Amino acid sequence: MENKLCVITGANSGIGFETAKELSRQGAYIVMVCRNEEKAEAAKYAIQKEVSGAGIDIVLCDFSIQADIRKAAEHINQNYEKIDVLVNNHGFIAKKYAETIDGLEATFGVNHIGYFLFTTLLLHKIIATGRARIVNVASNAHRGGNFDPENLQLKSGFSPMKAYSNSKLFNILFTIELAERLKETEVTVNALHPGVVRSNFGNNGSLLLGLFWKVGAPFMVSNKQGAQTSIYLATSPHVEGVNGAYFANSKAVTPRKQARDLEAAKKLWEISEKIVSYG
């Protein structure tokens, strides 16, 4: 990873932090895209304290705000000549139905549109790099999701876990449609399940989810363990040329049937384009 530029969203904590630290250890220059400046600076300091000579830049971005995403992408496009690896890692689960400043259901806006808009804004720079990689952190929670174009943002029937599961399904559908669009390039894109990670994620959701996270913590994997598949997809020569796959435990696995629906993936892309153009 020497002299490679890696852009990692949500890199100040959890598996994003562990991914940034390990890629930095392997010689990559890291662009940490984070919402909270204080936490980002603390994470940068922690990595540089452990990894001598680590090169790290911080770009601030609130992925619930499309203007912020555009500003962050513009900064990266203007300041870096190439992007070797993009890891879309940030994640969110709303406690109750709420809308972003752009009028999107919050979990959908952050987890799906956040991935979609940020990636597409950086895509020309990624393609120009050549053999670049895009890594999308999804989840096996996608198995509880559903693609319904008429109720994409759960205006009816909302629940925090349903919204989260839908967003993770959309991460995989986004991955397979983007893979299709990248076929004529040297860029690959893959999605992954990091495992059920013992992180602060559960604190963002409902009281019930928080309780589940607390009770289940002894059976969950650590942040370091949860980051391993992201690191593998970003670095391993064994996945050179692998495009549009879904991984768990650093192995390609089969997601649920709807996550492999090419028509749904294409439809979601078209809807997403309209949202980011006119939303």
pLDDT digits (tens, 9 = 90+) for 248-268: 999 999 999 999 999 999 999
Residue 207, pLDDT score = 56
Residue 210, pLDDT score = 52
Active site residue 164: yes
| Residues 24 and 56: beta-carbon distance below 8 Å | yes
Residue 94, pLDDT score = 94
Amino acid at position 156, single letter: S
Length of the chain: 279
Q: How many domains does the chain have?
A: 1
- Identify the residue whose tokens are 């020309």: 124
**Rounded-to-integer distance, Cα 111 and Cα 272, Å:** 12
Q: 265: domain CATH number?
A: 3.40.50.720
pLDDT-above-90 percentage for the chain: 88
Asked which of 43-52, 121-130, 174-183, 212-221 is least confident by mean pLDDT, the reply is 212-221
Residue 95, pLDDT score = 92
Instruction: Please say if the pLDDT value at position 212 is more than 80.
Output: no
Summarize the confidence of residues 147-163 as an average pLDDT.
96
**Rounded-to-integer distance, Cα 81 and Cα 103, Å:** 34
Domain that holds residue 193: 5-278
Instruction: Please say if the pLDDT value at position 220 is more than 60.
Output: no
Residue 88, pLDDT score = 98
The residue from 115, 164, 232, 246 that is catalytic is: 164
Q: How confident is the model at residue 215 (pLDDT cuts 50, 70, 90)?
A: very low
- Which of 198, 182, 152, 196 shows the shortest CA–CA distance to 244? 182
